Structure 1
């Protein structure tokens, strides 16, 4: 069975949901927990709860739009319907930049883990990872999904393992200790919002999903709900075992929790799980970026070659190769942490726009079928997307000025290309 443009419809609800969980859980929770605890104290669970509400508003908007326009181009298709192709190109450009930069950053994280355990340097290890994942992504979406499912189970298993370790320690601390008050809790929420990102990548699998109008929205909500439940439980367990001061001082909090309770072998196991988590996140980011490039090429906004589908494997092999090659190129930029942070600007601007699209289309295309409808409206205006816009603006103002400038450069460059391409 093939979808639009020849992509094979291989994925059901379970496949899309697990892929989404794999992106959302990713490497973020393994790295962000300690820093967030330093801001919010034992109330870090509350930071995750607030971030979950902010993420859910935009996830609901994505769910409605994906039910209306189940296309691989995702954001490009949605924005094109509401604001035209030039605005859509700019948003697509921002998301593509975010995708390849994120892939490179996560691959370097993988290389760091490998370098710590072997003699292989960081960049060669990251290059090998991107090459191997690109080959897997070309082989087929079913093979990619099976690999992602296996990695996600390991990844989630590490989180469940930490939750179980913490169960005997529940009640050992005051879970409302806030060393920086509510201000610290809100700053922690802005930080850990990044750990919820990934639901926006799921919609790019629409043309490889069976019954996407219904499957994609359900998968987005299921994946986010499971991630929220795991995050809330693991944060409570973590502070129960170590307390916020010790947790905040740790650069590898999950591994330290396991080591504190079960010894060095458990420390090594959780480190290995983090290695799987980074590989899985890099794979799913690479797939999402290639599907967006494919969809934009099919719409005529990027070179037609990126829209080619492999005759045997049914995957957009040129788009995969291009996304992999560009990501690999960024590995040689050295320390790209500053550049990678610009992806946050791209995402927040995109989230703001996507929520606005939902509102505009409610008035412009009221009769278009919506298998999934965001609940709640006043005078015809859907309230959840309004909250999504406000949250996106709030998150933008949490970023440093230098990062906002770099994000602005990406925005302006996309606009200039859109104008000259007509």
Structure 2
């Protein structure tokens, strides 16, 4: 059945996709959460980033294969529908939308933490304002959103490289295996830090706005993950080298704090950079969530209004508005750590299913074209996908019971919602 009316515009190239991916991933983790993670992992912060990177790598490979097979904006919803049917697909679609929405709220609180330190304005009004402004950018069109993301990404990457350079003279000054809470603290920090890698999966939602998405999206995803893993591990070593983990443990503005003690005006410089970084991540998370909501509406699994495209801006206006409104709700807890962990629950749950989908489709659709295939296969089973399942289950097991309870409630609500919008039989 052909869709009528305006469609999303294919304008994104490999450099734009890769830079957008780097921009989503970089902002939140080191600029907003590294202080909280340092209080758990100590000087072994780098090890927590490494463990989280392994999970991201396993699941990233699965996303690369699936995105080369199916190029719809509904992404995870489509992958799951083809593998396990409509009910689980709906649950995963809602989880993915929530991960972006909750993630945007988390990063907006990170933005507000830096901004409030700089100006004294309370957190919630600042976070509210930044989400509204970023939604206006998304409303304006994909070209405008991508242009803003590229500029912001260059600024935030420059900040991370700058912190790495600042820390070079201090390398070797601390014990990098000093762990105040033991290995359990490293794993808990890894579960929190995994939020820092959130973003590589958001790239696939841009498929309907990308040129040759079956090849461009997997390549862009790989570039984004490799670049960010290197930068994250390097900057985590650098920042604990400067004053030990105690200097940043629990800080809401760790980069600015370290820089202020290192050179005159450093706090101001890194506060400004952090504002760009966190705003960029929130922008791209909201953009991605609006696209999967749009994609599910096209499949009649959400109200049809969310599939409406503005003839002028070529953007799904009502989807963007819905994402904004729910993001504002998730600002209310006000505690960045708890909001980030809720977002991580939705990610771990989703990634278990996505890794399983790669395995299932190897048997269910062996003839389907796969421009990219997950390597290291035994029979038809890709080993990285199996490892991705087990590592995500492990990190779910070490999460706070309260966060797990919230996650279970969200899952049950999503399952109930699938009956409100049952899957329509259609030719595929």
Same fold (TM over 0.5): yes
* Deviation, structure 1 residue 104: 2.5
* Deviation, structure 1 residue 178: 3.7
* Deviation, structure 1 residue 5: 6.7
Of residues 61-70 and 409-418 in structure 1, the stretch that sits farther from structure 2 once superposed is 409-418
Provide the secondary structure at the position in 2 that maps to 1:248.
Answer: coil
Of residues 52-61 and 39-48 in structure 1, the stretch that sits farther from structure 2 once superposed is 39-48
Check 1:62–1:16 CA distance in 2 against 1; reply closer, same or farther (3 A cut).
Answer: same
Counterparts of 1:356 and 1:177, CA distance in 2: 37
Paired residues in the alignment total 420
Check 1:389–1:249 CA distance in 2 against 1; reply closer, same or farther (3 A cut).
Answer: closer
Task: Please give the residue correspondences for 1:101-120 in structure 2 after superposition, counting only pairs within 5 Å.
Answer: 101-118=102-119, 120=121
Q: Deviations 1:71-112 (Å, cap 9, x if unpaired)? A: 110100000000111111111112222222222332233334
What is residue 343 of structure 1 aligned with on the other side? 343
Task: Please give the residue correspondences for 1:214-293 in structure 2 after superposition, counting only pairs within 5 Å.
Answer: 214-248=215-249, 250-263=251-264, 265-293=265-293
Provide the secondary structure at the position in 1 that maps to 2:71.
Answer: coil
Of residues 64-73 and 164-173 in structure 1, the stretch that sits farther from structure 2 once superposed is 164-173
Check 1:104–1:243 CA distance in 2 against 1; reply closer, same or farther (3 A cut).
Answer: closer
What is residue 135 of structure 2 aligned with on the other side? 134
What is residue 425 of structure 2 aligned with on the other side? none
Provide the secondary structure at the position in 1 that maps to 2:372.
Answer: coil
What is residue 370 of structure 1 aligned with on the other side? 370
Segments of structure 1 that go 5 or more residues without pairing to the other structure are none
Counterparts of 2:337 and 2:401, CA distance in 1: 15
TM-score by length of 1: 0.93
* Deviation, structure 1 residue 120: 4.4
> Is the 2:43–2:240 Cα contact (8 Å) retained in structure 1?
yes
Counterparts of 2:107 and 2:34, CA distance in 1: 17
Task: Please give the residue correspondences for 1:144-155 in structure 2 after superposition, counting only pairs within 5 Å.
Answer: 144-155=145-156
Of residues 129-138 and 298-307 in structure 1, the stretch that sits farther from structure 2 once superposed is 129-138
Provide the secondary structure at the position in 2 that maps to 1:26.
Answer: helix
Counterparts of 1:240 and 1:355, CA distance in 2: 36
Of residues 352-361 and 226-235 in structure 1, the stretch that sits farther from structure 2 once superposed is 226-235
Check 1:307–1:108 CA distance in 2 against 1; reply closer, same or farther (3 A cut).
Answer: same
Check 1:185–1:116 CA distance in 2 against 1; reply closer, same or farther (3 A cut).
Answer: closer
What is residue 357 of structure 2 aligned with on the other side? 357
Counterparts of 2:226 and 2:277, CA distance in 1: 19
Check 1:262–1:341 CA distance in 2 against 1; reply closer, same or farther (3 A cut).
Answer: same
Which segments of structure 1 move beyond 4 Å, counting only runs of 4 or more?
Answer: 332-340
Task: Please give the residue correspondences for 1:322-337 in structure 2 after superposition, counting only pairs within 5 Å.
Answer: 322-332=322-332
* Deviation, structure 1 residue 243: 2.0
Check 1:329–1:195 CA distance in 2 against 1; reply closer, same or farther (3 A cut).
Answer: closer
What is residue 86 of structure 1 aligned with on the other side? 87
Q: Deviations 1:36-85 (Å, cap 9, x if unpaired)? A: 33333333222211211111000110111001001110100000000111
Computed over aligned residues only, the root mean square deviation of the Cα atoms, in angstroms, reads 2.2
Counterparts of 2:336 and 2:287, CA distance in 1: 21
> Is the 2:192–2:341 Cα contact (8 Å) retained in structure 1?
no
Task: Please give the residue correspondences for 1:35-50 in structure 2 after superposition, counting only pairs within 5 Å.
Answer: 35-50=36-51
Check 1:332–1:391 CA distance in 2 against 1; reply closer, same or farther (3 A cut).
Answer: closer
Counterparts of 1:339 and 1:234, CA distance in 2: 24
What is residue 389 of structure 2 aligned with on the other side? 389
Q: Deviations 1:330-350 (Å, cap 9, x if unpaired)? A: 445666864663222211110
* Deviation, structure 1 residue 352: 0.3
Segments of structure 2 that go 5 or more residues without pairing to the other structure are 423-428
* Deviation, structure 1 residue 391: 0.6
* Deviation, structure 1 residue 124: 3.1
